[in-house]
Amino acid sequence: MNGLLDEADWQNVPWTDDFVDIEGSLKPRPVYRTRVKMLWDEEYFYIAAELEEPHLWATFTERETIIFHENNFEVFIDPNGDTHNYYELEINALGTIWDLLLPKPYRNGGAPISAWDVAGFKYGINLRGTLNDPSDRDTLWTLEMAFPWKILKEAAPGKRKPHPGEQWRINFSRVQWQIEAVDGQYKKVIKPETGFPYPEYNWVWSPQGVIDMHRPESWGYVQFSGLKAAEGGEPVVINPDEYLKFVLRELYYLQHRFFWAHQRYAKSLEELEPEDPEFFAPCPVVFDVARTRFRLSIPSAAGNATWHISEDSRIWKTSLKLEERGMFY
């Protein structure tokens, strides 16, 4: 694995669309292009990235350093899409990594587990230019990564690698700082008004709408194909339950807004006073509410299960048989 991306399989799969600002259309398009490709086999989930970069810069060499304090590339993976127990890996142009497990998002009181180790992770980096040398102009760097299923399956449905046709929630981010040459070295550009560096840019595959990568419900969908790389693509299958999950997440946001105003959660849709009540009308929502906790529930599209969301943003499904036995969590 060398990061060159010259193998036939990589050549036979398309790039994603170019990355956009994390806030989406609210902000200008990124100055430098970033895009990714993906492959998978029996042992690994492969990710390739291409980052246009006129100034290759990376100094962190110690593993588990907070890599995003310099330019980096980041991968986020939520195998079962419940917004809990998701993976993050950051890497810089030196190949220094920070891998961590998030039991739940920071907004819900989650604390990162940096001791988590993506054992068996492999990577290769190819630099088209010179690292940490302001005297010339660089072109880009390419990155090739292999995530072993034996690790990723820990938080996956059924504790296994995906089957063809299944979808995971995934996102990619590039952190980019404004830098300049000072005494032959790259330094962050200081904002005169504050005396601190300008805020970093966050360029992503699937925009979040806010500067916060830890909203797994806004990540993209990756569908695992049963075709080989040279055999083309497959149509993306839209699961009708995704709309119901979107409705539950909108209600989750409304509940937390209500809590900030009233120090309790609403017990009905009418109490929440949504701007567009008709949006929720087709979905018979059941409110199960205590002062500091809630569970909202909607029947699945097929009618054989129920989707739930709780105050900590976890979303999950129960079958009717489990519900009859009172097993919701």
- Listed by start position, the domains of the chain span 8-231, 241-324
Total-model pTM: 0.95
Low-confidence ranges of the chain (pLDDT < 70): 321-329
pLDDT tens for each residue of 175-223: 999 999 999 999 999 999 999 999 999 999 999 999 999 999 999 999 9
pLDDT (0 to 100) of residue 230: 87
Q: What is the pLDDT of residue 233?
A: 87
What is the pLDDT at residue 145?
99
Total number of residues shown for the chain = 329
Rg (CA), the chain: 22
Confidence (pLDDT) at 323: 55
Q: Is 202 helix (H, G, I), strand (E, B) or coil?
A: strand
Which residues contact residue 173 at a Cβ distance below 8 angstroms, ignoring those fewer than 6 apart? Answer: 22, 73, 74, 76, 202, 203, 204, 205, 213
Quick count: other Cβ atoms within 10 Å of Cβ 297? 17
CB 101 within 8 A of CB 116: yes
Q: Which CATH class is domain 8-231?
A: mainly beta
Say which amino acid occupies 257.
R
Integer Cα distance of 257 and 24 in angstroms: 23
